[in-house]
Amino acid sequence: MNLRELSESLGLSQTTVSRALNGYPEVREETRTRVLAAARAANYAPNSRARRLATGRAMTIGHVVPLSGKEEMVNPIFADFLVGAGEVYAREGYDLLLSMVPNGEAERAYRQMASNGSVDGVMVQSPRLVDGRIALLQELDLPFIVHGRTGDHSNYSWLDIANIRAFRRATEFLLDLGHTRIALINGPEDLDFALRRRRGFEEALAARGIAPQPHLMQADLMTELFGYNAAATMLDGPEPPTAFVVSAIMPAIGVRRAAGERGMRLGRDISVICHDDMLSYIGNDAASAPGGPPFTATRSSIREAGRRCAEILIDLIRNPGLAPVQELWETELTLGRSTGPAPSAD
């Protein structure tokens, strides 16, 4: 069933039927209801390919997910971010086009999306310190928003959390508890957010006159295993840390495992504070966790970020002249059971 057939069966022109379906005012209310009834009865839906060609809009938003490194790790936070964005897209009538590409080929993917018009805008995630994507998208004149930010971020739209403040605060929290040998288990430091987190960490230490110890800082893909390995190495080494600042909950779980294997209990023998993206399948929140959240954490919902990014992006698409939208979100420090006072001097 297509528009022509439907209109013929109704004895109306395609124009009228199209207008009736799309809510234009030029058609009598009685006619409209008749058309709508017929469309429903015939299970008619306008062919999206044709509609897109005719309108020139793709009604689609592209997400290019770079598969990092050789192991092609997929960041678990992508899923929640996607869901948040997807909710908004669904509500606003947009499709989500997901493109998985090896890390180096993201540029090609964007370029193609722009030139073949398959999307109206794109979502950019995990910006690196030097990231060609932003200049590229500006050149291609494709609406976009960056989750995170990098470089000179005054001229494009982004949404980010206050990473420096969050990690300064987290570190201060541990310092206030009397910890002095504090380790940082960070994300890959070619990513902008990771470097900011490190800066916050170092600033807090510096403010108390503590020099950062290279052997207490590691950075890599934020997997459980990395957290485990890093913590294991540090705990077994000389001058082991009494506390950890960790960049995500997954490596924090790894730290917990390493500590557990060494007979240490979190919050008693060793402290861990991490950033919590509020992933739905972890549930590190006070409401659902009896006795409080397992991890003390700086929190910010990645799904909510996805939602908001989607909203902004759609706004940018609909209003081409819009000035860049930039939002900096504060994180929330929530007390959990993974932190406690530093063990008395040995």
Partner DNA sequence: CCGCTAACCCAAAGCGCTTTGGGTGGGCGC
Partner DNA sequence: GCGCCCACCCAAAGCGCTTTGGGTTAGCGG
Binding-site string for DNA from residue 31 to residue 70, where x marks contact by CB under 7 A and - marks none: x--------------xx--xx-xxxx--------------
The smaller minimum CB distance to DNA, of residues 115 and 155, is found at: 115
The smaller minimum CB distance to a second copy, of residues 115 and 155, is found at: 115
- 14 binds a second copy, rule: CB under 8 A: no
- 4 binds DNA, rule: CB under 7 A: yes
Q: Is residue 298 within 8 Å of residue 167, measured between CB atoms?
A: yes
* Nearest distance from C-beta of residue 140 to DNA, angstroms: 16
Q: How far is CA 223 from the centre of its chain?
A: 16
Out of 34, 92, 95, 151, the residue judged to bind a second copy by CB under 8 A: 95
Query: Which residue type sits at 302?
Result: I
Stretch that binds DNA, among 11-19, 131-139, 216-224, 290-298 (CB under 7 A): 11-19
The smaller minimum CB distance to a second copy, of residues 53 and 322, is found at: 53
Nearest Cα neighbor of 61 from 81, 43, 35, 34 is: 81
Distance CA 262, CA 259 (A): 5
Q: Is residue 339 within 8 Å of residue 173, measured between CB atoms?
A: yes
Site residues for DNA, 307-336, by CB under 7 A, read none
- 2 binds DNA, rule: CB under 7 A: yes
- 27 binds DNA, rule: CB under 7 A: yes
- Give the interface with a second copy as residue ranges (CB under 8 A): 1, 43-50, 52-53, 58, 65, 67, 71-76, 78-80, 82-83, 86-87, 89-90, 95-101, 111-112, 115-118, 221-225, 228-229, 232, 250, 253, 256-257, 260-261, 265, 279-283, 288-290, 294
For DNA, the binding residues (CB under 7 A) are: 2-4, 11-16, 18-19, 21-22, 26-29, 31, 46-47, 50-51, 53-56
